[in-house]
């Protein structure tokens, strides 16, 4: 049995799409069974449904400032779907220790920089300002410290003369779409996930 995977999104869902497309290949070692967004207007929800994957939203508003209560509702959806691995793909919520601990070793994130360089936001701007010649993306396990968990895979792209934040972001995004499915496959193969 292939491990069952949920993807958490907040927006456009291009990494989500890359993961779903990769998992359609018969020999891919994981199955995408659920997409979950904290925003019901996330464009990625419709994309997921069009690709044949169940997609639900768990809005934050009803939970006010209680982030853990929201995460308990998210986690209930993940457990109901018998998920074994969670992929964050543009999920724009800081997680509490509750959800991180529930999924320790089984939750991945993609970040648009070569970590440990440039954690947090505005990574392309920071790479350009620092005069980097090489930039890229990282897939890592999620731990309580933001963008600091063990690294599973990285992809590099050149920074070219005349690059803007947008041109560099687009080049990195292309690499994200290549690296994330590889990293998920690596985790899925390397662990004995019980159903
Ligand atoms: C990506 O750049 C990813 O690295 C970051 O958020 C963005 C999500 O984009 N964590 P998308 O929704 O996958 O298109």
Per-residue pLDDT tens for 29-74?
A: 999 999 999 999 999 999 999 999 999 999 999 999 999 999 999 9
> Do 48 and 77 meet the contact criterion of CB atoms below 8 Å apart?
no
Residue of 31, 151, 22, 35 whose CA lies nearest to 88: 35
pLDDT single digits (tens) 72-90: 999 999 999 999 999 999 9
Which atom of ligand 1 is closest in space to residue 13's alpha carbon?
Answer: 12
Q: Which of 111, 135, 140, 177 is catalytic?
A: 111
Q: What is the pLDDT of residue 25?
A: 97
Q: Is the CB of 112 under 6 A from ligand 1?
A: yes
Whether 70 is catalytic is no
Q: How far is the CA of 37 from the centre of ligand 1 (A)?
A: 13
Query: Would you place residue 190 in the very low, low, confident or very high pLDDT band (cuts 50, 70, 90)?
Result: confident
The two tokens of residue 180 are 């994330």
pLDDT at 194 over 70: no
Residue nearest to atom 12 of ligand 1 (CA): 13
Find the mean pLDDT for residues 92-97. 96
pLDDT at 163 over 60: yes
Integer Cα distance of 146 and 144 in angstroms: 6
């Amino acid at each position: 049995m292939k491990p069952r995977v949920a993807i958490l999104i907040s927006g456009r869902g291009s990494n989500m799409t890359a993961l779903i497309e990769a998992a359609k290949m018969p020999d891919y070692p994981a199955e995408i069974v659920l997409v979950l967004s904290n925003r019901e207007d996330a464009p990625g929800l419709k994309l997921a449904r069009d690709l044949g994957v169940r997609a639900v939203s768990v809005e934050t508003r009803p939970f006010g400032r209680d982030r853990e209560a929201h995460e308990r509702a998210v986690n209930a959806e993940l457990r109901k779907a018998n998920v074994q691995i969670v992929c964050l793909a543009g999920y724009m919520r800081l997680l509490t220790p509750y959800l991180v601990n529930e999924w320790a070793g089984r939750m991945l994130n993609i970040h648009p920089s070569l970590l440990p360089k440039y954690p947090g936001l505005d990574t392309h701007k920071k790479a350009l300002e620092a005069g980097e010649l090489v930039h890229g993306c990282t897939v890592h396990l999620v731990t309580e410290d933001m963008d600091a968990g063990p690294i599973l895979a990285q992809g590099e792209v050149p920074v070219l003369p005349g690059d803007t934040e947008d041109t560099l972001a687009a080049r990195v995004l292309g690499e994200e779409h290549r690296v994330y499915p590889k990293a998920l496959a690596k985790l899925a193969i390397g662990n004995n996930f019980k159903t």
